[in-house]
Structure 1
Amino acid sequence: MTVTDIFQQIFEAEPLVVQSPGRINLLGEHTDYNEGFVLPAAVNKYATVAISANDTGNIVMHSVQFNKTVTVPLADIAPQTENSWTNYVLGVTDGLIHGGKKVTGFNIAVDGDIPIGAGMSSSAGISCAVAFALNELFSLGLSREQLARTAQWAEHNYAGVACGIMDQFASLFGKANHLIQLDCRSIEYKYVPIEMEGYALVLFNTNVKHNLASTEYNQRRQQCEKGVALVKEKYPQVNSLRDVTMDMLHELVEPVDQSTFTRCKYVVEENDRLLKGCEDLRNGDLVAFGKKMFATHHGLSQEYNVSCPELDFLVDAVRNDADVLGARMMGGGFGGCTINLIKEEAIERIATDLAPKYEAAMGKPLTTYVVLTGDGTSIVSKPVVAA
């Protein structure tokens, strides 16, 4: 049964149906909070919501995945500890109300096929689908950028995740066969075509959860801020690692703190690598782009130190395979997926060969996802209005 069928069964109404995709990120990891560049794309995995207004002061939410219905009065919106999936609906609603928008009671059913915990940002997919649907349902007149910021606000204030804007932006602005070169300082963006030419994007999921991610993430941010502060003493115009050059790091950071230097070095080089990678794609040079993916993994693993044995194992296992142009860990680190650029005809061979080796070495199953770039948030169907 589709989410539409389930909605009609529960609420006996015709819904507006909206889908919003998950995302991948090809280059530009841990650059977002340093005002750098990222290179995400929407993928063909979606969060889907069916929604209609009701005549009550309540938000009535149904999760298809958990087969559970929860009602919260509009007057009592607050973060939930039980049924935490409701926080994406409630957080977006509260964000819209905080922004001065009028939202009345509604019924909503939530479903999706974005794998949870695989680094494809299922949470952004849900938040953006809800924001887009409410914007349409109540004719709020918000732009996609405003919806992205509302969804981000919900993540910060209801899900407790201090994320950047990349996930929400990619979900709302995705374009099939294109990546998004997003400037995290100005939120300016360019679409970069990616011609796959017989290759595909494949995710290998370590099935390792990000146990260290939050504490290590905060530590990395602090080290980046320390590097900026050291440079700023001589160059007051510097406000983030976006403004810093390698010469500045060698002069002012390396003599003081080697660890901070190494972290900052990765970020500065990754921004440069991403911009050059975009030129590779514009020139149709997937081979050169793939080499940059391997270089990014080396930086994340050996310099930024946010990888883990499972991620390193998967990248090392394909490094010398002629049918693999590039591979790297994707996301915050310490688990999740590697993203790989693999010749289509070799995917089955590589996945079949790799799975038992990975399980033998790491004691965990390997999950494989082949993803396509896709369009951003869109309306699937509108209620049929009788003539």
Structure 2
Amino acid sequence: MNKKLIKEVKKSFKSHFKTKPLIVFSPGRINLIGEHTDYNEGFVFPAAINKGIALAIQKSTSKKSKVFAINKEEIHEFSLDKIQPLENGGWQNYILGVVAEIQKKGIVLDNFNIAFAGNIPGGAGMSSSAALENSVVFGLNSLFNLSLSKKEMILISQNAEHNFAGVKCGIMDQYASMFGKKESALLLDCRTVTSKTFKIDFNNYKLLLINTNVKHDLSESAYNNRREVCEKVSHLLKIDALRDATRNDLDKVKSDISEEDYQKCLYIIQENERVQLFSEAIEENNIVSLGEYLYKSHNGLSTKYNVSCKELDFLVDSTRENQKILGARMMGGGFGGCTINLILKSEVKNFKKDISQKFQNKFNRACSIYSVKLSKGTRKV
């Protein structure tokens, strides 16, 4: 799949810019467990996947830098001085943001040309934006020998997202995309930005993602609202973040906060615990427990944190009666996007057919289904 993508990007670059490029592949990511814990300085369990962004880059002698988005057939050219976010910029702002953040470090760049394309499904919550940012910073670092560390590169990517795309994301997406390891997931501590690698053997099971292909409008405001709740209660508890709270701590301020806010904070405390238990289950090769934690995570996201939606709940509930599926949950910010399912390999074909039909009948629209493998992080190819 990626070989074809890389070939396409290389060919497109050569036909546009008439030179031989340097090629970077930067993967998207999934998150096995640990949702909304990142901005609470907690723990998450992401993995890079075998879908991503292929980017071709080379120095340019012209007066401006040019970027060609192959999938969109759009070209954007810009001057390297006084870079500002574009008002209606989509993909352009991720790239401009990375360049601007590099310049903020006092690094002087020369002009360059880029062509890129991706095979990450849009709106599926697999972090195509982080993959794009990482591919640009990695490409520029390699091309101009900037000697940036991977840690410096992901902070540049994150700041580009904050300052140019206007999304106050945590560090998980950029980290997983940059540091991913083959057949492994990363137990990431979002406070220290350090991780432990867990090689995972799912035995006869595999990961299957089902995309609802919906994105409800709530997502942006609801995300900010929940972040505020977590920060407000942390302040009340006189701690830096909910990562430091126990249920006992929370119970002490229960009468000072609404029941809804209590449940949201309880979810974060429990989800952080689940991430740790999930990593222990991997070490014990206890695949059944992994599935149980996925269901518990979904229940918390749906009933306590209230970030699910009827389509996501329907997909998860549809798996509960199937003995060949160990667990499922919504993945990502919520209100749409994907569910992640741990399913017996031999059951995939039947389940795909069955769930596609059920979803179509229920919502009068199609869902999309993808298999993913855990893969290596951003790299030159």
Mapping for residues 244-263 of structure 1, pairs under 5 Å = 244-254=245-255, 256-263=257-264
Please say if 1:45 is aligned against 2:46. no
Distance in 2 (CA, whole Å) between partners of 1:52 and 1:87 is 20
Q: Hey, what's the Cα distance between the residues in 1 that align with 2:72 and 2:196? A: 38
Give the equivalent residue in structure 2 for 1:264: 265
Gaps of 5+ in 2: 1-6
CA distance in 2, matches of 1:103, 1:201: 41
Task: Kindly state the Cα deviation for residue 166 of structure 1 after the two structures are TM-superposed.
Answer: 0.3
Deviations 1:128-148 (A, max 9, x none): 001100000000001111110
Q: Which whole-Å CA distance do the structure 2 matches of 1:123 and 1:210 have between them?
A: 19
Q: Distance in 2 between matches of 1:66 and 1:243?
A: 44
TM-score (norm 1): 0.95
In the alignment, what sits opposite 2:60? 54
In structure 1, the partner of 2:231 is: 225
Q: Which residue of 2 aligns with 1:241?
A: 242
Aligned position for 1:385: none
CA distance in 2: counterparts of 1:159 and 1:252, whole angstroms = 36
Which residue, out of 135, 153, 161, partners 2:159?
153
Deviation at 1:342, TM superposition (A): 0.6
The structural deviation recorded for 1:363 is 2.1
Report the CA distance between 1:351 and its aligned residue.
Answer: 1.0
Rounded to whole Å, the distance in 1 between the matches of 2:263 and 2:88 is 41
Deviation at 1:379, TM superposition (A): 0.5
List per-residue Cα deviations over 1:173-217 (Å, max 9, x = no partner). 000111100001111210012111121111000011141111111
Amino acid at match of 2:37: T
Is 2:86 the partner of 1:80?
yes
* In structure 1, distance between residues paired with 2:234 and 2:82: 43
Amino acid at match of 1:342: I
User: Equivalent residue for 1:235?
Assistant: none
* 1:351 matched residue in structure 2: 352
Q: Secondary structure at the match of 2:109?
A: coil
Alpha-carbon distance in structure 2 between the residues aligned to 1:97 and 1:229? 35
Match of 2:12 in 1: 6
8 Å Cα contact 1:57/1:74 also seen in 2 = no
Q: Deviation at 1:276?
A: 0.8
Residues in 1 aligned to 2:235 and 2:77: alpha-carbon distance in whole angstroms: 48
1:103 has 2:118 as partner: no
Percent of pairs identical after alignment?
44
Q: Which residue of 1 aligns with 2:277?
A: 276
Query: What residue is the counterpart of 1:366 in the other structure?
Result: 367
Tell me, in whole angstroms, the C-alpha distance in 2 between the residues paired with 1:132 and 1:24: 20
Structure 1 CA distance, aligned partners of 2:74 and 2:258? 52
- Provide the rounded CA distance (Å) in 2 between the counterparts of 1:176 and 1:359: 35
- The alpha-carbon deviation at position 255 of structure 1 amounts to 5.8
Distance (whole Å) between structure 2 residues aligned to residue 48 and residue 134 of structure 1: 14
SS of the residue corresponding to residue 264 of structure 1 reads: helix
Aligned 8 A contact 1:231 1:253 in 2: no
TM superposition shift of 1:340: 0.5
Residues 15 and 50 in structure 1, CA contact (< 8 A), matched pair in contact too: yes
Alpha-carbon contact 1:253-1:260 (below 8 Å) kept? no
8 Å Cα contact 1:59/1:74 also seen in 2: yes
CA distance in 2: counterparts of 1:136 and 1:210, whole angstroms? 39
Which segment is superposed worse, 153-162 or 20-29?
153-162
Relative to structure 1, the CA distance from residue 19 to residue 328 in structure 2 (aligned partners, 3 Å threshold; closer, same or farther) is same
- Relative to 1, partners in 2 of residues 1:254 and 1:31: Cα closer, same or farther, differing over 3 Å? farther
Offset of residue 362 of structure 1: 1.5
Over 3 Å counting, the alpha-carbon distance change for 1:210 and 1:53 in structure 2 is farther
Q: What secondary structure, in the 3-state scheme, does the structure 2 residue paired with 1:2 have?
A: helix
Q: Is the 8 A contact 1:202 1:369 kept in 2?
A: yes
Q: Give the match for residue 172 of structure 2.
A: 166
> Which residue of the partner structure matches residue 337 of structure 1?
338
Q: Identify the match of residue 73 of structure 2 among 34, 52, 67.
A: 67
- Give the Cα separation in 2 of the matches to 1:25 and 1:245: 24
Whole-angstrom distance in 2 between the partners of 1:100 and 1:200: 46
Q: How far apart in 2 are the matches of 1:217 and 1:256?
A: 19
Report the equivalent of 1:319.
320
Alignment of 1:285-296 (within 5 A): 285-296=286-297
In the alignment, what sits opposite 1:183?
189
Change (3 A) 1:81 1:352: same
- Mapped to 2, the partners of 1:346 and 1:376 lie a distance apart of 29
Aligned residue number for residue 132 of structure 2: 126
CA contact (8 A) 1:210 1:336 kept: no
| Superposed CA offset, 1:43-95 (max 9, x none) | 00010110000123411111101112221111242212345222122111111
Provide Cα deviations, 1:301-322, integer angstroms capped at 9, x if missing partner: 0000000000000000001211
Quote the RMSD (CA, aligned, Å).
Answer: 1.2
- Find 1:194's aligned residue among 189, 192, 200: 200
What CA deviation, in whole Å up to 9, does each residue of 1:333-357 have, x standing for no partner?
0000000111111111111001111
Q: Is contact 1:53–1:106 with CA below 8 Å preserved after alignment?
A: yes
Q: Distance in 2 between matches of 1:59 and 1:94?
A: 13
Q: C-alpha separation between the residues in 2 aligned to 1:55 and 1:228?
A: 53
Q: Deviations 1:131-171 (Å, cap 9, x if unpaired)? A: 10000000000111111010111111111111110000000
